[in-house]
Structure 1
Amino acid sequence: MAIAEVNGIQLYWERKGEGPPLLFISGTGGDLRKKPNVFDGPLPKSFDVLSYDQRGLGQSEKPSGHPFSMEDYAADAAAMIGEAGWESAHVIGVSFGGMVAQELAIRFPGRVKKLVLACTSPGGEGGASYPFHTIAHLSPEEHARHMIPIADMRHDAAWAKANPEQYEKLVELAAADPYAEEPGHEEGAAAQLAARATHDAWDRLERITAETLICGGKYDGIALPETQNKLKSRIPGAQLQMFDGGHLFLLQDRAAFPAIMKFLAG
């Protein structure tokens, strides 16, 4: 656990495991205090994993008074690779982290060995992920109930009626945020959503030179399956694997992490 001073901002990061270097970039609202996280999964058993709270989130600095850009997030990711003492690293970007990873691979190609883009979108004509900024005004419970049937399209109204206890448990888990009242939390989250809303790498994806695996959930209504196909069509030589799950397919399908690890180790 440490604090890095990069690009004029303090970022909280953690590192665990042995093996080839791997940078893991988390999604919207990512906070390493929330469990389980990447360090509780299988990746540290085979890789030297570094992950961090992105600017404005978690235990990282939450500056106010100016917007964040996707370029800022990508520059932070590149700087964290250097902070670890690595020249380059494998990169996994999940959801919003996948958007950051696209910018990273385009702007800092020498920093990226192999690239995994999980449940993410390119923006522009390639398609955007669900517009979270349009529902930021909802209460945590309202937000959870709105997003559950979108995050996994199998969890529709009929499923919720047939599985009331499981549905309410999902609502409870999705709505919980023990850090919501921290100073700067709301503003940092809003800044991330604003950057996410303008993400558009579509016309630049052909500049990605890293060997790339795109993966998603078959029932994901946030980063749509057809969007994963569009990503594959745009990134030279990209591979595509779809898994049995929604936006959280990494937790839902036990085949997902082994497939990603096989790609990175190959």
Structure 2
Amino acid sequence: MTAELLLLPGVTQDALVWQWMDLPPARAWVYPGHGDRGRAQDGLTLEGVADEIWSVVPTQVDVVGVAFGGVIAQYLALRHPESVRSMVLACTTAASEDGQRMRSNAEEMRTRGMGPYIEPAIGRWFRRSARERVPDAVAHIENTMQEFSADAYADVIAAMSEHDTRSRLSRIDRPVTLVKGEQDRVGEGAIDALHAELPHSRMFSIPGAHMVHVDNPGGFSAVIRDHLAWVDNGAPLGKKLG
């Protein structure tokens, strides 16, 4: 079976967030608490989201994960390697730095609501020029955040507080393209750290901030298409690439 392209977005984002990209047919995943989905009844965990995806996807997928989506992609590859043919990981990390602070932030968000967090997040996620270059895309993100449940966002933050795959990355024996947004100030150095640990990875830097798939949809689309061609042509394993 030909691998299906699976798109895993950042937090708060729905299936429509990919509409500004030029991609082959793909399955856009929606996490619990996102889009029209209710929150996870038993609590959201990174492992649980990966297992849910595994229960639904076909035999193999080429996974594109941005930010939180890149984290979920790692768990999918580690827990269900037979389902992953390759990965594109962008603006993501192998570990959260301060779990206690993140848990405190999650509880604060449940109390205060989404309002105080929207503009600061937009400032971190996009370059200042994004409102001129991709105004509809930025407006879409703002709208989804305004309608998003603070409890659902806090669920993600709490789950992320436990994230650490660093000791297991060497087990991922799949070709991986890593994408660094040149203006990404969230988790600086994280993509380089992934590149150092993933045995079959290559790395690209492209203009863009943290949500590079929305900030630079054309550039990120080109990287994904290049990645798929690389994999289809037998991306060599067993050596560091790029």
Query: TM class by shorter-chain length?
Result: 0.7 to 0.9
**Are 2:174 and 2:200, in contact at CA under 8 Å, matched by a contact in 1?**
no
Contact 2:93 2:191 in 1 (8 A): yes
What is aligned with 1:21?
4
Is 91-100 or 188-197 further displaced after alignment? 188-197
- 2:172 is the alignment partner of 1:208: yes
Query: Does 1:257 find its partner at 2:233?
Result: no
| Residue 42 (structure 1) shift | 1.2
- 1:120 is aligned, of 92, 116, 127, to 92
Matched residue, 1:3: none
| Distance of 2:183 and 2:6 partners within structure 1 | 27
Aligned length: 220
1:20-77: CA deviations, max 9, x gaps? 5111112111222xx4x2245211xx3x31122112322223244x322111011012
What residue number does 2:143 align with? 176
The correspondence for 1:109, drawn from 81, 90, 102, is 81
Classify the secondary structure of the residue corresponding to 2:59.
Answer: coil
Instruction: Report 1:115-264 matches (<5 A).
Output: 115-123=87-95, 134=105, 136=109, 140-152=114-126, 155=128, 175-177=142-144, 180=147, 185-224=149-188, 226-253=189-216, 254-264=218-228
Question: Which AA in structure 1 matches 2:14?
Answer: D
Q: Distance in 1 between matches of 2:205 and 2:147?
A: 33
CA distance in 1, matches of 2:215, 2:73: 23
1:202-241: CA deviation from partner (whole Å, max 9, x where unpaired): 11111111100010211112232x1110000010021011
Q: Deviations over 1:167-226 (max 9, x none)?
A: xx8997654348737xxx4433322221122211111111111100010211112232x1
What residue ranges of structure 2 are gaps of 5+ in the alignment?
Answer: 231-242
Higher helix share: 2
Amino acid at match of 1:219: Q
Q: 2:64 aligns with which of 92, 95, 99?
A: 92
CA change 1:116–1:80 in 2 (3 A) is same
Equivalent residues in 2 for 1:76-87, closer than 5 Å = 76-81=52-57, 86-87=58-59
> Taking structure 2 as the reference length, what is the TM-score of the superposition?
0.77
Which amino acid in the other structure matches residue 11 of structure 2? T
2:39 corresponds to 1:62: yes
What is the RMSD of the two structures over their aligned residues, measured on CA atoms?
3.2
8 Å Cα contact 2:18-2:214 kept in structure 1: no
What residue is the counterpart of 1:14 in the other structure? none
Specify the alignment match of 2:237 in structure 1.
none
Task: Tell me: higher relative CO, structure 1 or 2? Use CA pairs within 8 A at least 6 residues apart.
Answer: 2
Partners of 2:54 and 2:48 lie apart in 1 by 10
Change over 3 Å in CA distance of 1:212–1:98 after alignment to 2: same
More strand by share: 1
| Match 1:50 to one of 7, 16, 27 | 27
Q: Which runs of 5+ in 1 are unaligned?
A: 1-18, 160-164
Identity %: 22
Q: SS where residue 53 of structure 1 aligns?
A: coil
Task: State the alpha-carbon separation in 2 of the partners of residues 145 and 252 from structure 1.
Answer: 16
- The corresponding residue for 2:233 is none
